[in-house]
Amino acid sequence: MNALAATNRNFRLASRLLGLDSKLEKSLLIPFREIKVECTIPKDDGTLVSYVGFRIQHDNARGPMKGGIRYHPEVDPDEVNALAQLMTWKTAVADIPYGGAKGGIGCSPRDLSKSELERLTRVFTQKIHDLIGIHTDVPAPDMGTNSQTMAWILDEYSKFHGHSPAVVTGKPIDLGGSLGREAATGRGVVYATEALLAEYGKSIEGLTFVIQGFGNVGSWAAKLIHERGGKVIAVSDITGAVKNPNGIDIPELLKHKEVTRSLKSFSGGDSMDPNELLVHECDVLVPCALGGVLNRENAADVKAKFIIEAANHPTDPEADEILSKKGIIILPDIYANAGGVTVSYFEWVQNIQGFMWDEEKVNKELKRYMTQAFHNIKNMCKTHNCNLRMGAFTLGVNRVARATLLRGWEA
């Protein structure tokens, strides 16, 4: 089942639990606006090349739309639609005043030079500058984009609208980016894990963790879990997988990865089959990489007691059922990885006020939001007698539905 079908299914189940009006339900699913633009740029050798860029703005009942821009060869409209919708529910679960959006350009960033990427980003911004904005739609980095991409968008947008640092988040610190943004998603994952474990009278210290994906999110989560006394016993990424039953020395692994750009031949552990990683014996499994990694093929063999969905949509609905039957507790992605968008919100707030926070305040506020959201989800679970995924979805959908009704959607 693809991401869009799964998200729609979760939305419909939540909508049934909440008893939403069928017309309202249909209206909430349809995106507010879909934008598709042609971006033609001269390559470094002088030849012209065209790319298709788009932005899906899903819902703005609770505030400006928010979501990443990805540069990727297979930017599939269906997937982007699902991710835009997911952002609507995610911002509502975190209780930040945004709606959802997502966008991208169908290109291979690895095959483009830096100056070609800059030209492409500027042309894309020229095409959509009147459809994004501080109080309309605030983009952020995603796959294949980074703080430099945001700097170019900011500069190009500002040519039309005057200096507007709040038009994008995930910016470089020197241009109004927030301290703590880099680590935010991984740190949020850890705060979410702490909130969940506290419900079961446990803490991170002394438990064993397996982490799939060692990019931004996975490496920060691993580092913070290690600092809190958790034993990270296996880690994998695209380059390979490493295990150590006594716990991997994460700072050493980070150094090794920085030097060799790979997890292979790390002296502090043994290499293992990356496919075995997800079914490795552990207390907590944290998928931080791709969607759909837990499916009906491997779900029955998962040995973890808790799964923290740091990636978007790592668990197939079929796997969901198998895992639930086994009594495995799944902390859903729309809550677990909301740390990134929460600190993006803090960045936007700081830019609008023209007053920047220190990192301690950013992390303290992030912890407050993540902890509060967890308790709100638990309350929805009690009200509707459902699992954490449905608790999160009913919480998010209910907030958006209430905002929509209060604004008078039928008028």
Kind of pairing, strands 137-141 and 208-212? unpaired
* Strand 208-212 relative to strand 48-57, pairing: unpaired
Sign of CA dihedral 133, 139, 140, 146: negative
Largest Cα–Cα separation, the chain: 66
Instruction: Confirm if 395 and 405 have CB atoms less than 8 A apart.
Output: no
| Cα atoms in the 13 Å half-sphere on the side-chain side of 214 | 27
| Residue written as token pair 């609770």 | 62
Is 344 labelled a binding residue? Answer: yes
- 39 contacts 50 by C-beta, under 8 angstroms: yes
Sign, CA torsion 317/319/325/328: negative
CA distance 179 to 42: 36
| Residues labelled as active-site residues | 102
**What type of residue is 133?**
G
Task: Compute the CA torsion angle 91, 316, 105, 261 (nearest 10 deg).
Answer: 100
Packing angle of the helix pair 77-93, 3-18 (nearest 10 deg): 40
Cα–Cα nearest to 370, from 346, 397, 351, 353 = 346
Q: Is 66 annotated as a binding residue?
A: yes
For the chain, what is the radius of gyration of the CA atoms? 21
Cite the annotated binding site by residue number.
66, 90, 185, 216, 344
Cite the annotated binding site for NAD(+) by residue number.
185, 216
Cite the annotated binding site for substrate by residue number.
66, 90, 344
